[in-house]
Amino acid sequence: MFVDPRMITLAREAQGWNQTHLAGLLDVTQGYLSKIESGNAEVSDELLAKLAQHLETPAALFSYVGSASTIEVTCLHHRRRASTMSAPTKKRIEALARLTRISVEELMKTVRITTDKSIPRRGDVDLTPADFARVVREYFAIPDGPIENLLSYVERAGVLVVHRPLGTASQDAVSTWPDGGAPMMIVNTGLSPDRERFTVAHELGHLVMHGAPGDDQETEANDFASELLAPAEQIREDLVGLDRRDMGRLMRLKTKWGMSIAALVRRAWSIDELSDEDYKSYQIQLTKLGWRQAEPGHVPAEDATLVRRVIEARRQHESLDDDALAAIALMKPEQFRNVFLPADEAGPKTEVTISA
């Protein structure tokens, strides 16, 4: 059986393990595992079975041949909280992103997605992130005011969105758009609806603006997200006169605009509707209240359904059960169900058809 050693490395990194840990589980030396992963040692059928068992993946994954396993890091954009991330954690997230793309691309091999619009790219056009956010709103024909369902616009443009645990609370999402591939976001599970909306807007900013890494990309993506969700001249009237005593007002605006209080405070400050002194006061209040991680107030959850519709199209057209679909996705059935088959809800009106 052909084995691509890079897939062993990818599966190991997706578990967050170093070579020493996996070698111990396999009862081989770290040096021998290193030779396997570098392509300098053969993998017996017995060892391949043990690798599949411990890495919780079908052995067929190790024979995968395709571009998704080697997506350049320049195509990976990250939305993370302001914290230091260890190298193993970063590798794990990137490995999960690559494995997710492999699974989705395998599922889409006989599927064609028809969209009214594709997402635009900034290219060499000299526009600020806020300017381009306004271009995107106009391009998607988003009405003035709060965006009712951001994910529906994103998915209608053909962006594949997958919710998947990323193994850390420090990472909100990762997005990829390699040449010749479809744009994709992998969003961490467990985010509050308001944070997820900002995260999706942030990742959309990366997809439309950034083809290669740069020093200011996180700031640019945040500026894009803020203007996309709350255009300055559309939210200004709601923020005029805001001061440090207006927490109740911010709670109401959170529900209206689908943004966290923290994001609204920063938005008010960035468009000069909140003084530096009051901005600092709000930062202190949010910390004291413990609202940095979770705030009160209701924002409706949004659901990504496009990939699920792809799966259901194949299920119905080809009479496939979950086990067969999992095998196509190069995943174990339980993992496949956990990632791709949550409770069904109404999705965007994106046509999904089976190719002949």
Mean pLDDT of the chain: 90
Q: Which structure tokens are listed for 227?
A: 């203007």
Alpha helices (runs of H) in 57-192, residue ranges in sequence order: 87-107, 129-139, 150-156
Model pTM score: 0.90
**Whether residues 24 and 154 fall in one domain:** no
Within a domain: 300:
no
Identify the domain boundary among 40, 65, 90. 65
What confidence category does residue 126 fall into, taking pLDDT thresholds of 50, 70 and 90? confident
pLDDT bucket at 57, cuts 50 / 70 / 90: very high
Percent of the chain with pLDDT over 90: 76
Q: Are residues 90 and 146 in the same domain?
A: yes
* CATH code, 6: 1.10.260.40
CB distance 299 to 194 below 8 Å? yes
Place 241 in a pLDDT band, splitting at 50, 70 and 90: very high
Between 60 and 167, where is the model more confident?
Answer: 60
Q: Measure the CA–CA gap between 21 and 11, rounded to whole angstroms.
A: 13
Phi and psi angles of residue 33, each rounded to the nearest 5 degrees, phi first: -65, -40
Residue with tokens 């589980």: 25
Q: Cα–Cα distance between 53 and 226 in angstroms, integer?
A: 45
214 and 349 belong to one structural domain: yes
Residues 258 and 190 both lie in one domain: no
pLDDT digits (tens, 9 = 90+) for 11-21: 999 999 999 99
Looking at the structure, do residues 3 and 128 belong to the same domain, yes or no? no
Average pLDDT over residues 106-124: 85
Which position has the higher pLDDT, 325 or 81?
A: 325
**Structure confidence at residue 106 (pLDDT):** 95
Q: Are 336 and 322 in contact (CB under 8 A)?
A: yes
Q: How far apart are CA 218 and CA 202, in angstroms?
A: 8
Residue 294: inside a domain, yes or no?
no
**Does 356 score more than 90 pLDDT?**
no
Half-sphere exposure of 129 (CA within 13 A, CB side): 23
pLDDT of residue 334: 95
Asked if the model's pLDDT at residue 344 lies above 60, the reply is: no
Nearest partner of 160 among 339, 349, 307, 326, judged by Cα: 307
- Residue 59, domain extent: 1-65
How much is the pLDDT for 347? 45
For residue 296, tell me if it sits in a domain. no
Q: Whole-angstrom Cα distance, residue 277 to residue 243?
A: 9
**In which band, very low, low, confident or very high, does the pLDDT at 87 lie, cut at 50, 70 and 90?**
confident
Domain identity same for 36 and 153: no
Task: Identify the domain boundary among 65, 93, 110.
Answer: 65
Q: Which amino acid is at 179?
A: D
Q: Residue 139: which residues within 8 A CB-CB, separation 6 or more?
A: 117, 120
Q: Is the pLDDT of residue 72 over 60?
A: no
- 211: buried, middle or exposed (CB in 10 Å: 19+, 13-18, 0-12)? middle
Task: Look at residue 181 in the predicted model and tell me its pLDDT.
Answer: 85
Burial class (CB in 10 A: 0-12, 13-18, 19+), 235: buried
Tokens 């770290």 identify what position? 30
Residue 68 has pLDDT above 50, yes or no: yes
More confident residue, 69 or 49: 49
d(CA 146, CA 140): 14
Do both 96 and 206 map to the same domain?
A: yes
Distances (CA, A) of 28 to 2, 18, 22, 25, 73: 21, 14, 9, 8, 31
Same domain, 172 and 319: yes
List residues bridging with 32 in a β-sheet. Answer: none
| DSSP states of 173-205 | EEEE--TTS--EEEE-TT--HHHHHHHHHHHHH
Domain count of the fold of the chain:
3
Q: Are residues 199 and 255 in the same domain?
A: no
Tell me what pLDDT residue 223 has: 97
